[in-house]
Structure 1
Amino acid sequence: MKNFNVRDLVGNALVCAIYVVLTLINPLSYGAVQFRFSEIMAVLPFFDRKYIPGVTIGVLLANLFSQLGIVDVLVGVGICMISYTISYFVKNPYSNAVIYSILCGIFVASELYFVVHAPLLITGTSILIGQLVVTIIGVVIFKRISQKTSFFKKIDATA
């Protein structure tokens, strides 16, 4: 990320805040059955890598409110780091959304299996499906918005 400036900082703060708020107002954000609407924001770095800090810090802050606390923080931030590293090499946002969703299904289900003894396969499948739905919707939305209104330039302009 070259030339990270005040606009980028403010843009990342907005992304972070939106992620946290969308997570906290949704009763299905935590647990074995997840449908985290905030994960729409998690696809932003697949379009512009400068949003990696905003999403990652948003995940960190939102997961602090989880009943699993620091364990959930470490897993969530770890998923972000792995996924966004892979996305450096895989340029297709749909592929990245699938990879991100698979990582969430595997790691979050494993976390819940080891910590609260949730059934691994059912939990993993549930989380994977919820993530796929939300992240694919996110890719479609941001792809269309960026084509029609230059969304990322508008975020930069308001920041």
Structure 2
Amino acid sequence: MNTRYLSKSAAIAALYVILVALEIPLGTLAFGPVQIRVAEALVLLPLIESAAIPGVFIGCLLANTILTFTSGFGLIDIVGGSLVTLIAAYLTSKMPNKILGVIPPVALNGLIVSIWVAKFTNFPYWPTVGFIALGELIAVGLFGSIVLYAYERIKDRI
């Protein structure tokens, strides 16, 4: 690893945390059974930037640690949610295009994160899966495409 790689990872991590922090005033929109975590748009970046894999993982780890004070999900969300993001980012990096790159974060967050979100919110599991997957699809598919487009335009300058 070189300084440039570490700097990009750190910048992506910081951006993830900032985006989540901006959503905190919106309440459960960033962490409840019905959620659109805009920061998850960054999970599409591993398609073109390998430094995004540790960046989104560390960003999610820090953001989930901060959100623990407002969400009440605790250690399972800090560790589990962050590992889901890490695995989703890695799998996204292996996808051949952005359409398929959306699948890992949508599927993994929908199926796995919903386990504890449903338990802690007393919301049924399958509707939670649907809402989290839909929110992830919006965050990664729509906002992630915008992030990917913007990053591709500036990546040679950073």
Same fold (TM over 0.5): yes
SS at match of 1:49: coil
1:113 is matched with 118
For residues 119 and 55 of structure 1, the distance between their equivalents in structure 2, rounded to whole angstroms, comes to: 28
In structure 1, runs of 5+ residues without a counterpart are: none
Task: Note if 1:152 corresponds to 2:152.
Answer: no
2:129 is matched with 124
For residues 69 and 30 of structure 1, the distance between their equivalents in structure 2, rounded to whole angstroms, comes to: 12
- Per-residue deviation at 1:44? 1.0
1:23 is matched with 20
Matched residue pairs, number?
Answer: 150
Paired-residue identity, %: 27
Q: Which moved more, 1:124-133 or 1:46-55?
A: 46-55
RMSD between aligned residues: 1.8
- Per-residue deviation at 1:98? 2.0
1:40 is matched with 41
TM-score (structure 1 length as normaliser): 0.84
SS at match of 1:25: helix
For residues 31 and 98 of structure 2, the distance between their equivalents in structure 1, rounded to whole angstroms, comes to: 25
What letter is aligned with 1:79?
V
For residues 126 and 14 of structure 1, the distance between their equivalents in structure 2, rounded to whole angstroms, comes to: 29
The list of structure 1 runs, each at least 4 consecutive aligned residues, that deviate by more than 3 angstroms after superposition, is none
SS at match of 2:83: helix
Q: Which moved more, 1:121-130 or 1:5-14?
A: 5-14
Q: Is the 8 A contact 1:47 1:93 kept in 2?
A: no
TM-score (structure 2 length as normaliser): 0.84
